Amino acid sequence: MHEYLEALKTILYFSIFNYPITKEEVYRFSGNKCRQVIDTQLELLISKNIISQNDNYYIFETNVDCIQRRQKGNKMAQDIMPKACKVAKFITKFPYVESVSLSGSLSKGYYDDDGDIDFFIITKPNRLWIARTLLILYKKLFLLNSRKYFCVNYFISNDNLLIEEQNRFTATELLTLIPITGKKCFKKFVATNAWAKTYLPNLDIDYSHKITNIKKPWLSKNIQMICDGNFGEMLDHFFKSITIKKWQSKFRHLTKEELLIALKSTDTVSKHHPQNFQKKVIDTLNEKYLEVKNEFNLELSPEHA
C-alpha cells in the first residue's frame, strides 16, 4: 500500500496543528513531484476511509470544526500581516541585523488570538549575541517583555547559514519563511540549505512580499562603530556566556541533549525554544504513523528529529 504514503504523510503532518489542507497544499507539501500521483493517492485514501474530504479540505480526523477555525485564522493572518512586516523592518534597524523573515504559523497563513508573530533573524558574523541582547532588552524595557508581536527566538549568523537539524519539520519551517528584509542575505541562506528541497521538492519560498533594504539609523551605526574590533568580539562572547548560564539555570528540567536542540547556543546560532517544539511535532507525527499502522495496517517510515 505504498501508493498512499506521500499524500497521507502530508495530511497527517498538518493534522498535528488541527489544520485541514487543500489538494494544492497536499501536493506542495508532499515529497512526490507528480501532481497526478498525489491526486490518485487522495482518491485511494478517501475510498479506504483513511481520510475525508469536506469543503475542498482533506482531513484525517472527523472534526470538521477545524475548517472554520482555519478560515478564521487565515483571515486574521491577512489582517495582521502589515503589522508583522512593519515590525520586521523595525527589527532590521537594530545593530548587526542583516535579514528578517516571518516564521511560525503566520508564515503559513495562519494567526489567532493565542499566537505570536515569530521572526527569523540573520545577523552579521561575530555579533549575533550583541544583536540578540539589544533586541531582548528592547522587548523587556519597552514592550514589558511581551512576545505577542515581537517573538525573536531564532538567530543565525551570516557566516554559518547551514541548518544542522535536517528533517521534515525544519524543511517545512525553512521553505515557508517569508523574507521581509535583506534579500541578498536571505537568498544566500536558502541556497546554503538546498537540502530542504529533498524533503519538499514542490514547495518554494514566497517572494510575493517586497523585500526591502533598511538603512540603519544613526544610533545603530554608532553602536556598530563602538563595537567594531576586539571590544565587540569580547562583548559578543560575554552576552553569549551570561545567556547560556541563565538558560542552564532556568531550564534545569531539560536534558543536555534537549538543551542542545531546543536552546542551541553557539557563536553562530541562538534558538530559544524551551518547549522543544521540533521534537514534540516529530514525536506526535510518528505516533500518528503508528496509529495508521494499527488501524489501517499501513506502514509509514518514521521521521527523525
Mean pLDDT of the region 117-132 = 98
Q: What pLDDT does 110 receive?
A: 97
pLDDT digits (tens, 9 = 90+) for 45-66: 999 999 999 989 999 976 778 9
Mean pLDDT of the region 277-292 = 94
Q: What pLDDT does 10 receive?
A: 97
Question: What does CATH list as the number for 2-63+280-296?
Answer: 1.10.10.10
Measured distance CA(50)–CA(48) in Å, rounded: 5
135 closest CA partner among 116, 115, 121 = 121
In the chain, CATH 1.10.10.10 covers: 2-63+280-296
Residue 99 above 80 pLDDT? yes
Lowest mean pLDDT among 98-102, 154-158, 292-296: 292-296
Average pLDDT score, the chain: 93
Q: What pLDDT does 203 receive?
A: 97
State whether residue 102 is helix, strand or coil: strand
Q: What pLDDT does 73 receive?
A: 97
Residue 255 above 90 pLDDT? no
Lowest mean pLDDT among 80-84, 123-127, 146-150: 146-150
Nearest-10 Cα torsion for 84, 236, 98, 248:
-40
Measured distance CA(225)–CA(207) in Å, rounded: 33
Q: Which helix (H) or strand (E) holds 45?
A: helix 35-47
Please report which confidence band the pLDDT of residue 1 belongs to, taking 50, 70 and 90 as the band edges. Answer: very low
Q: What pLDDT does 4 receive?
A: 58
53 closest CA partner among 18, 21, 12, 95 = 21
Supply the pTM of this predicted model.
0.94
